[in-house]
């Protein structure tokens, strides 16, 4: 369950399984070259056995429970399991193959079963509960007290305090949910891999700028069809196509395939899986004492209740709808001006929005891209970390990586102190699941000396043709900053206990460090210095900077509607008190009709491929918006000083947010940084919804 320590969990010396041997290379990073899929099975078996033994040992101790012999011992347990699982799940997300997928189907339910056995262990819970009752008399410092409270709460929330029959049922459900969740994710990947569209000749490429053509050529190479062009269902392939392709018929075809992921009938259809998962989740919630799964999840967040989330959404939704409607009218006018007489359809929106943007702000996305090479944007993101937090990123080609596309950097303080290791894995490929994320190969803690983290950022940017730089859209560049924001939340972590470290915070707080970091990208101070033209090396001209600033809230109605619609689907789905008779299609249509969803916009994620809510964001997709209230308000703290790199503000940000993990309550942490709770006005202004 957590990372840690010096306890010898195994006697791995005799084995030639690299997952079980000590890692001796630079920074003790995983020796990827020697790790083969076949190593995972035996490594998991041994690691599970070791952790079981450790847990039994803690639970059955004769000695009276103490913080050290119970809570710290628990933190130190499972070292090997964490080490193996970190490597496995990172690889199965970023560079999967049939062998890893088969292992995942096998191991996911076993891990769930194991985790249930730990969290529902009665004797272990009794020791934790005993300590919790006496917590004020134990003489703990504030971080230790926080850990005890969080540990107690996580056991209670897992069902540890229930009778044995309920505990047994919860364990069964968790195991089944793990199997279903794995199937769901693999089905989406299978649907994405199963579809591509070949573009034959100039007629099919009509409207596509050189960068999108190059990316399509690269995608064709990856599909084994060099010399042609292909569009795939990766966001970085299909979105630019929808934005630029003048071929309305092809746009419709691509769009329909995109929104049907997980809903194509047959073996990869996710609708039945969703129905079963919702029934199981709602059963768990009731067993633990909540009316709905949403109420259960939200009880352990900043928002606390579904009603609080709705309050925020109610402020945003009508304003977003109003903006989206007037955006649609403008797009329809634009289409008519071009001699078209159809109503804008969902597959037209991005295309005409691009034209509208060009006409209204003279802003040309393709021109913007030519200033945003991947390397320039990385330099900008690293430099920002230097100016805010005094960090230096040094490329380390000697560090082993898991795929030739991956690059490694050592992160140090300006004084030369080691902070952590950072992997960047930016190019899309069929073996990678879609989306962008941050994860880690090693957590930070201080239970065995100072253990520093290994953090990874993964994106799916379309790689430039050989010999040409990879160009990012402004959105891609923003995503890169976003993920590095999460990365810094991991790298700067400075806490004692692994369970409180890095991004182990409440899920409606975790997007604050990432979304806040995006703000620096859009600032002229940063763009002028780093957005250099791919060919001439000239800085982005004042004209484009002004255009970008003017167009900042362009299409925000659309973006807010597509995001918030998914948020509402998530919240409504997990607020069902009775899930019997759930029909995913009917449910989705009914919710969208009720909220007045414009026909021209589709939710950013439809339920059959909504991976966030199958993974860790169930009843939690609102978190981005909740965190955005804070990020808009937090960036204003810098603006108010007149210096977006203000030293004093940056130091507070580091101490109370980026380095602090879950050391204190999220709202308290925010107030410690800002001096007051967050205010929503910044968010509405940022999105142009006031
Ligand atoms: Zn994020």
Confidence at 211, pLDDT banded by 50, 70, 90:
confident
Q: Which helix (H) or strand (E) holds 427?
A: strand 418-427
Q: How many residues are there in the chain?
A: 690
Distance of alpha carbon 192 from alpha carbon 195, whole angstroms: 6
CA separation for the pair 207, 283 (Å, rounded): 51
pLDDT value of position 236: 83
Contacts for 256 with CB less than 8 Å, ≥ 6 apart: 347
Q: Tell me the per-residue pLDDT of 520-553, one tens digit each, with 9 for 90 and over.
A: 999 999 999 999 999 999 999 999 999 999 898 8
CA of 294 to the centre of ligand 1 (A): 21
**DSSP symbol at 373:** B
* C-alpha 251 – ligand 1 centre gap (Å): 29
Can you spell out the DSSP letters for 452-515?
Answer: PPEEEEEEEEPPPPTTS--B--HHHHHHHHHHHHHHHHHHT---S-GGGSTT-S-TTTTTHHHH
The pair of structure tokens assigned to 501 is 């470290």
Does the structure show a pLDDT above 70 at 582? yes
Q: How far is the CA of 479 from the centre of ligand 1 (A)?
A: 9
Q: How far is the CA of 247 from the centre of ligand 1 (A)?
A: 33
pLDDT at site 149 = 98
Gap between the Cα atoms of 54 and 69, Å rounded: 12
What pLDDT score does 15 carry?
Answer: 60
Averaged pLDDT, 150-174: 97
The strands making up 454-461's β-sheet, listed across from edge to edge, are 391-395, 407-413, 418-427, 454-461, 437-442
Q: How far is the CA of 642 from the centre of ligand 1 (A)?
A: 27
For residue 196, what are the β-bridge partners? 232
Q: How far is the CA of 437 from the centre of ligand 1 (A)?
A: 7
How far apart, in whole angstroms, are the C-alpha atoms of residue 490 and residue 660?
Answer: 10
List b or e across 437-462, with b for residues whose CB sees 16 or more CB atoms inside 10 angstroms.
Answer: bbbbbbbbbebeeebbbbbbbbbbbb
Q: How far is the CA of 480 from the centre of ligand 1 (A)?
A: 10
Residue 308 to residue 315: CA distance in whole angstroms: 11
Residue 354, helix vs strand vs coil: helix
Ligand 1 centroid from CA 613, angstroms: 14
Write out pLDDT tens, residues 69-105. Answer: 999 999 999 999 999 999 999 999 999 999 999 999 9
Element at 586 (helix H, strand E): helix 584-594
Which run of H or of E encompasses 198? strand 196-199
Q: Is the pLDDT of residue 3 over 80?
A: no
HSE at residue 261, side-chain half, CA atoms within 13 A, is 30
Question: Is residue 1's pLDDT more than 80?
Answer: no
DSSP states of 18-49 as a string? Answer: TTTSPP-SGGG---GGG--HHHHHHHHHHHHH
Distance 516 CA to ligand 1 centre (A): 10
Residue 541, CB half-sphere, CA atoms under 13 Å: how many?
A: 8
Catalytic residues: 483
Neighbouring residues of the ion ligand 1, judged by CB less than 5 Å: 511, 514
Confidence category of residue 14, pLDDT binned at 50, 70, 90: very low
């Amino acid at each position: 369950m957590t990372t840690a320590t010096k306890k010898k969990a195994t006697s791995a010396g005799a084995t030639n399984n690299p997952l079980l041997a000590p890692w001796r290379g630079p920074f003790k990073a995983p020796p990827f070259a020697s790790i083969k899929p076949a190593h995972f099975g035996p490594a998991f078996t041994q690691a599970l056995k070791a952790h079981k033994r450790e847990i039994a040992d803690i639970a059955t101790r004769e000695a009276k429970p103490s913080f050290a012999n119970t809570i710290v011992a628990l933190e130190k347990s499972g070292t090997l399991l964490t080490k193996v699982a970190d490597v496995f799940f990172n690889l199965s997300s970023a560079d999967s193959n049939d062998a890893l997928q088969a292992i995942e189907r096998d191991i996911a339910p076993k891990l769930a079963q194991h985790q249930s056995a730990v969290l529902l262990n009665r004797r272990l819970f009794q020791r934790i509960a005993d300590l919790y009752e006496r917590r004020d008399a134990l003489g703990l410092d504030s971080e230790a007290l926080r850990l005890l409270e969080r540990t107690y709460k996580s056991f209670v929330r897992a069902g540890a305090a229930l009778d044995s029959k309920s505990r047994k049922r919860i364990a069964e459900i968790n195991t089944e949910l793990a199997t279903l969740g794995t199937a769901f994710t693999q089905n989406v990947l299978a649907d994405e891999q199963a579809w591509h569209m070949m573009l034959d000749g100039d007629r099919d490429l009509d409207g596509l700028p050189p960068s999108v053509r190059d990316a399509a050529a690269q995608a064709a190479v990856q599909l084994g069809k060099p010399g042609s062009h292909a569009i795939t269902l990766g966001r970085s392939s299909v979105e630019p196509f929808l934005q630029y392709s003048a071929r309305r018929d092809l746009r419709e075809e691509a769009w329909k395939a995109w929104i049907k992921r997980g809903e194509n009938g047959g073996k990869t259809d996710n609708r039945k899986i969703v129905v079963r998962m919702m029934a199981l989740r709602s059963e768990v919630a009731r067993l633990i004492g909540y009316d709905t799964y949403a109420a259960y999840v939200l009880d352990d967040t900043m928002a606390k209740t579904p009603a609080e989330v709705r309050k925020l959404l109610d402020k945003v939704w009508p304003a977003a709808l109003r903006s989206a409607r007037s955006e649609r009218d403008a797009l329809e006018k634009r289409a008519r001006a071009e001699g078209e007489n159809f109503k804008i359809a969902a597959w037209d929106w991005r295309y005409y929005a691009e034209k509208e943007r060009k006409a209204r702000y003279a802003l040309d996305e393709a021109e913007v891209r030519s200033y945003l090479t991947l390397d320039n944007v990385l330099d900008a993101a690293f430099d920002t970390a230097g100016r805010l937090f005094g960090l230096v990123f040094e490329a380390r080609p000697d560090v082993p990586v898991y795929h030739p596309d991956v690059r490694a950097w050592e992160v140090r303080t300006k004084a030369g102190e080691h902070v952590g290791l950072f992997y960047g894995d930016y190019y899309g490929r069929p073996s990678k699941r879609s989306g962008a994320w941050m994860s880690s190969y090693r957590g930070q803690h201080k239970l065995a000396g100072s253990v520093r983290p290994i953090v990874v950022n993964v994106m799916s940017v379309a790689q430039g043709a050989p010999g040409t730089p990879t160009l990012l859209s402004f959105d891609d560049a923003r995503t890169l900053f976003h993920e590095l924001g999460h990365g810094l939340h991991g790298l700067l972590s400075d806490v004692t206990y692994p369970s409180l470290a890095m991004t182990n915070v409440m899920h409606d707080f975790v997007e604050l460090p990432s979304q806040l970091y995006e703000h620096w990208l859009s600032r002229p101070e940063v763009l002028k210095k780093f957005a250099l033209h791919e060919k001439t090396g000239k800085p982005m001209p004042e004209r484009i900077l002004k255009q970008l600033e003017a167009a900042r809230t362009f299409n925000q109605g659309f973006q807010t509607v597509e995001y918030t619609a998914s948020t509402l689907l998530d919240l409504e789905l997990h607020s069902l008190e009775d899930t019997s008779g759930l029909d995913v299609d009917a449910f989705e249509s009914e919710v969208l009709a009720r909220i007045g969803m414009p026909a021209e916009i589709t939710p950013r994620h439809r339920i059959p491929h909504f991976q966030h809510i199958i993974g860790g964001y169930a009843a939690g997709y609102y978190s981005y918006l909740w965190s955005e209230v804070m990020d808009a308000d937090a960036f204003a703290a810098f603006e108010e000083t007149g210096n977006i790199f203000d030293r004093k503000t940056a130091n507070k940000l580091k101490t109370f947010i980026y380095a602090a993990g879950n050391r204190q309550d999220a709202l308290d942490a925010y107030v410690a940084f800002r001096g007051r709770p967050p205010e929503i006005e910044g968010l509405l202004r940022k999105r142009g919804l006031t």
